[in-house]
């Protein structure tokens, strides 16, 4: 997504928690596109980190037009084995982080009377499929956050939408057992996994000036489950 935004002429910033190697790879890729990014390390569930990032972006760029809440963690665990700390971490990263960043970014967006907030959810919040309870709860909560926030800030010309990818050929799609992947592709109308590039192109439209009338929407890209 960051590369797709940069190719459209956006200045890009991103955060990461711990994987310095991947962060450097992303930074280098953006720099090669002529859009060296601002990069911040920290947790989206840490309110001090969130305020530092938004304050620095305001100082460097004078404002923020687009926020993408895409931080997330995954854990495949039956509910009987879930510890309270597992639940808390899942909710903190996958849901609380979107709240903290949205709240911080909205102050500037409301002042400038424009902005896009895009939350990256999951098809499991819309489809009754087998999914870890705490993961499904967090992603369903994200759907509710998007719907309520869109109604609250629409009068300020700020649009809030949710993009729900299905299984992709990256991320969780590489972690599942072969028989699970086969089940998914057999149920999918298109009969295949999605790609990161396909999700990125949808994200570009959702936060672009071309999207003038969509807010509170849930765009599910799952190949037709």
pLDDT of residue 128: 52
Three-state DSSP class for residue 9: coil
Catalytic residue selected from 135, 162, 199, 223: 135
Residue carrying the six token digits 């890209």: 221
Cα–Cα distance, 5 to 10 (Å, whole number): 6
Cα dist. 121→25, 54, 162, 219 in Å? 24, 22, 6, 9
184 belongs to the catalytic site: no
For residue 27, pLDDT beyond 60: yes
pLDDT of residue 124: 64
Domains along the chain with CATH numbers: 64-221 (3.40.50.720)
pLDDT tens column, 42-95: 999 999 999 999 999 999 999 999 999 999 988 888 899 999 999 999 999 999
Q: List phi, psi (to 5°) of 164.
A: -110, 100
Q: How confident is the model at residue 225 (pLDDT cuts 50, 70, 90)?
A: confident
pLDDT tens column, 183-223: 888 988 999 999 999 999 999 999 999 999 999 999 999 99
Q: List phi, psi (to 5°) of 64.
A: -140, 125
Three-state DSSP class for residue 16: strand
Query: Partners of 116 in the beta sheet?
Result: 66, 159
């Amino acid at each position: 997504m960051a590369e797709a935004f940069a190719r459209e002429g956006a200045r890009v910033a991103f955060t990461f928690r711990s994987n310095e190697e991947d962060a450097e790879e992303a930074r280098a890729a953006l720099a090669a596109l002529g859009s060296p990014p601002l990069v911040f390390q920290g947790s989206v569930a840490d309110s001090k980190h969130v305020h530092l990032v938004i304050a620095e972006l305001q100082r460097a760029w004078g404002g923020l037009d687009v926020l993408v809440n895409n931080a997330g963690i995954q854990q495949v665990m039956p509910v009987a084995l879930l510890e309270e700390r597992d639940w808390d971490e899942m909710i903190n990263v996958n849901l609380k982080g979107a709240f903290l960043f949205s709240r911080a970014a909205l102050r500037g967006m409301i002042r400038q009377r424009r902005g896009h907030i895009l939350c990256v959810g999951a098809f499991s919040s819309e489809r009754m499929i087998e999914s870890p309870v705490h993961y499904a709860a967090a992603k369903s909560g994200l759907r509710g956050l998007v719907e309520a926030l869109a109604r609250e800030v629409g009068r300020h010309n700020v649009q809030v939408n949710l993009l729900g990818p299905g299984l992709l050929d990256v991320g969780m799609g590489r972690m599942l057992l072969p028989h699970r992947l086969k089940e998914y592709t057999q149920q999918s109308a298109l009969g295949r996994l999605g790609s990161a590039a396909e999700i990125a192109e949808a994200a570009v439209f959702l936060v672009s000036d071309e999207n003038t009338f969509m807010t509170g929407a849930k765009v599910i890209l799952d190949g037709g489950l």
